Structure 1
Amino acid sequence: MARITYKKKLKIQFKRYYEYILIAVFCIAAILLLIYGVGLNIYRNKMNNIMISDVVEKGFQEYTDFLNEAETKNVLNQKLAHEISNNYMAYYINSFKRRAILDSSFILMDTSENVIYSSFSDEEMTMRRRIFVKLAGENVGDTNIYYSTYSQFNKSSEYVMTMPLYDDGERSGSISCFISGTDLEKIMWENKFDGVITDTAGHTIAAADWNMLDAMHKFSFDGGRFVYKGNLYRIAVSRSQNYDVVVYTLIQPLNSSQYTAVVILTLVIILVALGFSGNYLTEWLAELNSQSLDKLCSEITEIQKSGMEKRIELVTGDEFEDIADRINIMLDHLQALNEKNIELDRLNNQMERLRLEAQFDPHFLYNTLECIRYGVRLGDHNIDGIILKLTSLLRYSIGAEDKIVTVGEDLAHLKDYMDIIQYRFEGRFIYNIDISNDCIRRPCPRLCLQPIVENSIKYALPHQKKLEVGIKIWSDSDYLYLRVSDNGKGMDEENLRGMRDLINNESGGIKTIHYGLRNIARRLKLQFGPESCLELNSTKEEGTEVLLRIAIERKSKDWDTSC
């Protein structure tokens, strides 16, 4: 079955995703256009209604507060009593009007229905207005403000607030405030929307276009829609909570043909743009995403050809770079493990050679066999045991299948070796062994102590009348300790420092005949971890001590390598 390339697979996948995105874009575009065509107009009409309603509410409240002020009532009663002039009265009213939102005019009447003060001109103070004020004064209650609408044909009407006046508990007259609808119409013109403001009886106070009203200057509509000059308008309605006022705002929906044309044109533009860019986009994305993988595959192929020394060089800033870094780490570990195994094999081979050289040293065998021969001739009853110990020792030395043995096993064969040495030298060599019971089954390298004891016999015994070798083995929670000490001549600081450098030299570059201690130290580190080590201590004329420290359990971090 033919394989498809990762790049082609990505292109097919991206193309499928692109088709899904295209469908989503069409749906979103249609929803947005629907919102624009219907929802946006409704929202704008509602905002216009809220805005003009707030102006009405705040403007009318300003006049209500002004009329109810004690100072205002006091000034009006003074005017009714002819205690202040018309000029002062005009000054007081105009001071308030300058800070008011809406413009207005005032008429002050006494209880005999005589006009005491008016801010209207003589031309504006018609008989119809006089009669209206008289009727409003008659309809007002004892304390409340009476609201009404003064309609003016073909021009803005006025919203009228009439309030009774009292002086020392006696009715002294009434004040009528005519709030002009002109300012409300200007606000609608400036914000470019149509609207009508009426009282609850349907009398129009202000209208952006008075031609929208019927012959009685009332605003009539069917449900939430209004038709004017063949155009359909949507209506938003709000009613004042404190005043007998209703606010209507109108907005014309988009023309259906215009709306359809906008939708079709927009979708066509989106379709053409995505059609041109889609194929290029999928090709580019596939190329971009496959570059990292192609580079990674190329680097891995190069590693297969060049060997484990090469490392992947990949800088992409994505997951492939992280994969390359992890492969490099794995290669580092594999190379270190390979080098470690090579070093371990080399040391094992060298140790095997040295062990064979030591165990099959002709002088050792000759001297031991000579002792056995003389023992047989002299009828020594212990000679059978010596022969058995030699046989066991030679068999243990030759066998190399198990590289790691238990402490008890290795110590048993070491004891055979020391018993043979003790038999040969009679009273000149003695040894003692001190081992904790929990250490007998602990793992250790094969023949890790015998080379150390051999060193003591080789270099210390010729200079001593009696050589004493002590072996102590104990453990704690982390390490197994094996210590070999003698009472030989020891060594001075210079020789001790040289021996320590030899032991700690891991490269093997120092040429020397003293391979034993260094090989034991390397085997400990390679087989039991870098925290395992060999320590050498010696004092001139006092003796030498060698301590093996073997990790019982491998630690994941913070190994102590200070040996």
Structure 2
Amino acid sequence: MRFSEQIRRSFFVYALIPTLLLCVGCYIFLYSMSYIAQTKRNEQNTQVLASQLESELNFYEIKAEKLADLLSKEISHLDEKKWYEDIYTFMRQRELQCNFYIFDTDYKILMSNTTLIPEYSTQTYNWGIFKKMRLEPDTAWTMPNRTYLGHDKFTILSIGKAITQGEEIVGFIVFDIKEDSLKNMVGKNSQYNIMITDRHKNIILTTNESFKNENGKVRNDLADETGYLKLIDNDVYISRSTLFQENLYVYTISFIGFLDDLLRMGFLFLLIMIIVLLGALSFAAKKVANDKTKVIDKIVKGIEEVQRGNLETYLDIKTQDEFEFIATAYNQMLEDIKALIELNKEKACHSIQSEIKQLESQFNPHFIFNTLEMLRYTMKLDQETAYKIILNLSSILRYSINGGLSEVTIEEDLGYTRSYLEIQQFRFHERFAYSIDVYDQAEIYKVPKLTIQPLIENAIKYGFNNQKKLTIKISIRAVEEQLVIVVYDDGKGMSAGKVASINEILHTKGNQHIGLYNVHRRIQLMYGEQYGLSIISQLDEGTVIKITLPLLNS
């Protein structure tokens, strides 16, 4: 049998079987991925909506606690204009809108943004939100509380906090979340059916009334169910997320019956494609077998020449198919082999410079991820702060990717360091403070790029250690013929054994995944073994990291 015929038969058989398997596998994959994608989007929607809702309600709880603390001193002589402006400004910034009330201990309204008197404040007995606030006056409470506003409008959630003077309750502040506002938040995900309930399965809000039973609760065939199930003669997928210590539940319900119809149509289309493919493969196998055997000899001859050590044997094949690609790859391989021979010679002359550049590139991606995550929320809450964060992050990235600089002045490195510190201050707020002191006009001297920032990053990473606040102090001065940089933090500190372990890493081969080692190693590669880092730390007393460098004028 001719070789071309063997190729034709082999091509047909071995192309057909994998093709059939691939088609079937792709169909099964698409079938599975369709369901997985639908369920994943469903679950992501639930998580996002739950997160947004909990975030908004948390804002109201925090505001209620702050107002209760401030109002405790002024409730007997309220400055209505002052407090109304403060509360109104706060509510304008919130996605969930509400009515707010300040009550005295007899549930009489002292101040409000509406003339409506909520019916729950006119009852002759303590119940609901008022009962919770009286029983635990030090806690801000969030609970379902459906109140009629007129014109088919309701409030559906109340957030309240007792106002106390010492041990005595002197009033209450309550925010009533409006149903329309919550519907607008849910409406952003209108392609899904959304339901919000309390822990007793009472429906607070739903986009589909068929999920309710006659008592206004969740249907029995839906309660406590998640995943795939049959509901109202439809295939659905249900995901659920809890918030506020499982006091509220957010459901997302997707109807997925349409996927079965789409996949049946896809299967029919697949069968037609397989039949067409069989005919095409038969024709292509014969043509390929006849054409490709002509160039095989050329390729074999070229490979034999390379085996003999001849790196100047190039292939000239212009068939515009895989064999031309093989020939091109073969020719490129020869070029690469010759280039690698020269490159290996050059690498031997630049090993130290390569190590320095490698150590300079050890930039922690978690900082960028954390900053972008912080920026995502800050852009919603405080655009001016978000703008400052973006400027600082831009400055940091521009500085860190400038590969043309190995040495910079103290002034330049501190510019980058201040941007990094400001981002950390935006992140931790009042929990984080820092100071920078430069003496003896030391800002003119040169240091290795990215010298100070890894020390600050290390202090933040290990210094907090469940502390409420961390302070970092940076001191730079010229001492005799040396530049001394000291970074102090008042964090948890380290035991003597831990300090000894880190010093051992610094003075041996070390670990390039430790930021302190990267700084220490780079300094020694650039200036010599007499320079580098030293660490002094005591448990519960903080940590001092000292960098010693030569005095190099800019």
TM-score (norm 2): 0.49
TM-score (norm 1): 0.48
